[in-house]
Chains A and B, each alone.
Chain A
């Protein structure tokens, strides 16, 4: 199989990757770059555990060719927090007890981030709709929804990560 050179911008850093042309963004993140915070499950864009941000929008990395992502801004869970500590969403998930096994959480947090950037003052029903593409089997979603609403309030109040 012939390889191609890809130039990708991930978490604010430039990466040159020599890889198979058919690889998905998920495969390049996990296998080529060792960024295993982005999780892998259904590989058909149904479960949402592979959610990353592409130019600020939440996308399923499992069905996106890495080659399509050149020249665009990719953010994974590893790049969400600033150097000073956790992002308010990450803090809220911990404070609300919203994490059980944790496997869906990176995707869940990035889906929430993309949504709150568009709608900083959502209702509970809106948050539930925004997260409906991300399956969680542990929590029953309640504490996740509460965490997102809590983080939204904190972000509105202007308190950001330290």
Chain B
């Protein structure tokens, strides 16, 4: 097997004058070199097809692929990269959203108007989407308000931080078919993207996911699969490509930096009359997930509150930085940080307790969401009250430099279709075949539990085959808190069909009417007689091809008011979940350092299919959220990342994460299996806001930018001391 490596741009914005790879090809051990000249001239991408495999004519960020090499050893591949000559003619880069939106700003994509894109997007120059919610009359709402508050918040680019790098192995066979082993969360999307890039039918592309060492959204879009496939085709040998930590922190799919502007009108007694909000996503050199994330953000920015008048806009903006993507609850932490920080600021200004102010405004059963969806199974009051009780809200500032903060929110359970094949084996075990990938959330364990429950077998009787585009049925993929929800429901559908067939077979054997039969202890039983499902599976295999069912599920559409949205690709939250976080922390007045004593999450999971796994999701999501809240930031200067190592990109260790107390609220959804709601993403949303609010309670300073570093707190304290 050969080892592939990628040569990446060293300039944030430049004309590509020359790429000469001829000297690389002659080096020892080198078996293939590819550049833009060697691959089909196609643009691919999600909502906007604006990306190419290798830079053509122009580079748009430091880290953009320019060429790739495959060699017999990783060392030989690295040496060959150094032998490729690239001549750049630097051009002025656009380094942030403000610069990108300034009049006369250089266009990141001069040909943007000619790109293929989802038709409903609102695109213009460096804006690759502006999604909007308009409800009521926001100006009238502000006129009705006693006070109007305006605030601005910023957040920085952060990485998903999976411990396993992105990796792929590609191998072609003599019929022109390629097999790609990859740790992608979305094998079917990668299959289709490869088809676009390689210009061959998807049926010639087999994507297999052997396992994933964490993804958190960072392994949704194509990573190195196409590089491996192109090199392997050129070399005629299998090629493996693995990203380095430097590549991860400079050229992956991180969470977008944002700027949020909020204007909120309230009455004297704490009722919100209007909200105007804008969130700008620095989406980098390509649209990536930006147009969708900007849409989702508007629902988070409106918040789980009754607000009759809304004007909310989400902008995805091109800059000369790495292409941003999706990270666990995309847009959630950034928008929620702004909304929930402002809720506390307003409560303080009105002299109201922040919990009380929220309770006066939260949505309840039967209320409309921001786009007119009618909400049900709303548990927000219970979440808020239980989180507040557990943190000891009665003593919000137990003493100087110690304080407690609250934040709440809502999130979607993404739809998308799932298919499963379920087979009952002749030994009575059950084979579950799903196109979904297990990324470590135990979502497929949950689906297997559901299947075992429905078929009356033990969990250990269920075996799993997953995520192989040639062997498994389609699945929308491990994204959007949907896997256990959607695959679980597909399992129920398959089990229902198998049950009917088992009963029909058993009825004939036992001479009992199918309506009188039940599944119990791995047998079909009725009227005192019983027969093992293993026996029925054997009979079926001999006489009728065996017991196999195709179960499918698609979440029903959530009705909304289409007049309220523009350029919006995600206008309603399906089977929404509600949650509240509370944190108790201290601030060191000398250093500004934050010490977290306790952390509480009350999350409505609908129904906890696997409570230990659900707690695990909450604990992990909070830890990741605390990283964004307190320490994590990809630092750019002049279009270059300054901290592309794990020494300088500071993720929480076991010493940094407090004990997390999970309260599982269970208000069943109408659609999920046994009432389950999506679990995986929500715990990542509220930590930054909860921490900001607790820091304000403890230290009396309000930090409006993430991460909330000790340095920022200390500087803010110095400012208040100076003002005193």
Contact = CB atoms under 8 A, between A and B. Distances in A.
Given A39-B164, A47-B646, A139-B620, A97 B654 contact: no
B165 A102 contact: no
B653 A138 contact: no
Interface size range of chain A in the complex: 35 or more
Interface residue tally of chain B, by bracket? Answer: 35 or more
A101 interface: yes
B615 A135 contact: no
Contact of A101 (B212, B622, B653): B212
Interface in B648-667: 651, 653-655, 657, 659-660
A41 B653 contact: no
User: For B73, B442, B616, B623, which residue has the most chain A Cβ atoms within 10 angstroms?
Assistant: B616
B163 A143 contact: no
B163 A132 contact: no
A39 B651 CA distance: 19
Interface in B214-260: 214, 216, 242, 244-245
B676 interface: no
Interface pairs A-B: 9 shortest CB-CB:
A101-B440, A103-B213, A140-B619, A140-B623, A46-B646, A97-B612, A100-B440, A141-B654, A128-B654
A88 to B, nearest CB: 19
A137 B620 contact: yes
B624 A137 contact: yes
B213 A101 contact: yes
B441 interface: yes
Contacts of B163: 39, 41, 47, 49, 101, 103-104, 135-137
Interface of B: 73, 75, 160-165, 211-214, 216, 242, 244-245, 439-442, 612-613, 615-616, 618-624, 645-647, 651, 653-655, 657, 659-660
Contacts of B244: 43
A137 B651 contact: yes
Contacts of B211: 102
A107 to B, nearest CB: 9
B214 A103 contact: yes
A16 interface: no
A14 B452 CA distance: 45
A47 B647 CA distance: 9
A94 B603 CA distance: 24
Given A47-B646, A138-B620, A141-B623, A100 B660 contact: no
A145 B660 CA distance: 12
Interface in A46-89: 46-47, 49
B624 A139 contact: no
A131 interface: yes
A141 B653 CA distance: 8
B655 A132 contact: yes
A44 B161 contact: no
A139 B616 contact: yes
Nearest to A137: B161
B245 A141 contact: no
28 contacts: A39-B163, A39-B213, A41-B245, A42-B245, A43-B244, A44-B645, A46-B645, A46-B647, A47-B163, A97-B615, A100-B440, A100-B616, A101-B163, A101-B212, A101-B213, A102-B213, A132-B653, A135-B161, A135-B653, A137-B160, A137-B163, A137-B624, A138-B620, A139-B616, A139-B620, A140-B618, A141-B653, A141-B654
A40 B214 CA distance: 14
Given A137-B161, A137-B651, A140-B657, 6 more contacts: A46-B245, A103-B162, A132-B654, A132-B655, A135-B651, A138-B620
B441 A137 contact: no
From B619, B646, B654, B657, name the one whose CB has the most chain A CB atoms within 10 angstroms: B654
Given A103-B213, A137-B162, A141-B623, A44 B646 contact: yes
